[in-house]
Structure 1
Amino acid sequence: MFKSHYLLKFLSAAIILVCVHAYGIDLGKVKGESGKVKGNGREVKFGREVKVERLKVKGNSNELKRKRGILKEVYTDELGVREFSSRNDGPDVEKYLRYVRLKKGQPWCAAFVCWALGETGIKNPRSGWSPDLFPASKVIWQRTRAIAAGDIATPRQGDVFGVWYSDKGRIAHVGFVDKWDGKWIISVEGNTNGAGSAEGDGVYRKRRLIASLYKVADFIQDKRI
């Protein structure tokens, strides 16, 4: 009787394991997903866990695609963020700025990009200075390079673009490439507005001419050119 009892427990455990394997139960979802609440006229997520760890396998295309998808989810969740008083302030804006060790009141397009990369577990410069997002080791596209030379990679979802401002003599605005179609990009970017300003009031989805971009960097995988 004693042996039968333990045999029964063993068989029950084995059946459970077979079912989990066969039906693909998502253990991550069993732990619970983040909830959403309405606040300040927009949808806000709370309690979100970082969903991926830094990948150890650098060349696995499925893992890289998955990570790009998770990054997209992170930055698109922020669409609708607005400054509190149009002075680079407000709870979400200050959250981005804190991530790069800056106080409220500072320009925050680079802080937004770094924060979203960090939320996805992607190593980044943690800087509010836009040029810091384009080290030579990460740049995969540059307007001044000849495409015929074969040294330009096609930017992908989650890559970071930079816009050059001649009056500043540097890249002074950055955001995420969400879609690249050859002539235009669809972007998600912070500290902008409906007109695409580098001193706007929130996180917006924009459509920009590729010819208006200066550089694109990839923080998700090794340099592609």
Structure 2
Amino acid sequence: MGSDIRERVIDSALQEIGVQEATGNNDGTRVEAYLRYVGLGKGYAWCAAFVSWCYGRAGRPLPRNAWSPALFPMVRRYTAAQIAQGSIRQADLFAIYSSSLRRVDHVGLVRQQKGNWIVTVEGNSSDKVLSKRRPLATIYAFSNWLD
């Protein structure tokens, strides 16, 4: 898969930066569109729905799941060695792990890796779509749905 699809996924995500929930309850016109894409109505956590919607908008049918842990099957995950070698690429997914829930609790898109940091685009972060800078040490897993 060429970089073209990766750029389309990220372009879709970048166009959504600034979208925010209407009342802070996983709602609002755009948020509900992301949730509808994965078969849910308003009121559900939507980070995985957002990622799935971005892939769909770029013409990729998968991933398409509202459950963030489902976006990190072992067959799609990068190994520690691959991560250390700098294999993470634009449009890969990153996971944040919740020790209290004992599972992946948040997912977003990698925009780019810069040294020991990644720049992201993610939904349902502070109730909106935004770009963040996250230290690699805080990332639980990365997955590749394009190769």
Q: Shorter-chain TM-score category?
A: over 0.9
The answer to whether structure 1 residue 167 and structure 2 residue 100 are counterparts is yes
Alpha carbons 2:12, 2:57 under 8 Å: kept:
yes
The answer to whether structure 1 residue 102 and structure 2 residue 58 are counterparts is no
Larger radius of gyration: 1
Instruction: Specify the SS of the correspondent of 1:140.
Output: coil
Gaps of 5+ in 2: none
Q: Which residue number in structure 1 is paired with residue 145 of structure 2?
A: 219
TM-aligned CA deviation for residue 152 of structure 1? 6.1
TM-aligned CA deviation for residue 123 of structure 1? 3.0
Q: Which residue number in structure 2 is paired with residue 138 of structure 1?
A: 76
Instruction: Specify the SS of the correspondent of 1:75.
Output: helix
TM-aligned CA deviation for residue 150 of structure 1? 8.9
Instruction: Specify the SS of the correspondent of 1:131.
Output: helix
- Within the candidate set 108, 122, 128, 2:60 is matched to 122
Give distance in 2, aligned partners of 1:151 and 1:131.
22
Q: Which residue number in structure 2 is paired with residue 180 of structure 1?
A: 113
Q: Which residue number in structure 1 is paired with residue 49 of structure 2?
A: 111
Give distance in 2, aligned partners of 1:125 and 1:68.
14
How is 1:11-22 mapped onto 2 (pairs within 5 angstroms)?
none
TM-aligned CA deviation for residue 140 of structure 1? 1.8
Give distance in 1, aligned partners of 2:71 and 2:119.
19
Give distance in 2, aligned partners of 1:152 and 1:168.
30
**Greater relative contact order (CA < 8 Å, ≥ 6 in sequence):** 2
TM-aligned CA deviation for residue 127 of structure 1? 1.2
TM-score scaled to structure 2, two decimals?
0.93
Give distance in 1, aligned partners of 2:17 and 2:64.
21
How is 1:45-56 mapped onto 2 (pairs within 5 angstroms)?
none
Gaps of 5+ in 1: 1-57, 59-63, 194-200
TM-aligned CA deviation for residue 121 of structure 1? 1.3
| Cα 1:68–1:151 shift into 2, 3 Å | same
Instruction: Specify the SS of the correspondent of 2:75.
Output: coil
TM-aligned CA deviation for residue 122 of structure 1? 1.5
Instruction: Specify the SS of the correspondent of 1:187.
Output: strand
Percent of matched pairs sharing the same residue: 40
How is 1:42-121 mapped onto 2 (pairs within 5 angstroms)?
58=1, 64-121=2-59
Give distance in 2, aligned partners of 1:81 and 1:182.
29
Alpha carbons 1:162, 1:214 under 8 Å: kept:
yes
Give distance in 2, aligned partners of 1:118 and 1:140.
22
TM-score scaled to structure 1, two decimals?
0.62
Q: Which residue number in structure 1 is paired with residue 125 of structure 2?
A: 192
TM-aligned CA deviation for residue 112 of structure 1? 0.2
Which residue identity does 1:136 align to in structure 2? M
- Within the candidate set 203, 206, 222, 2:132 is matched to 206
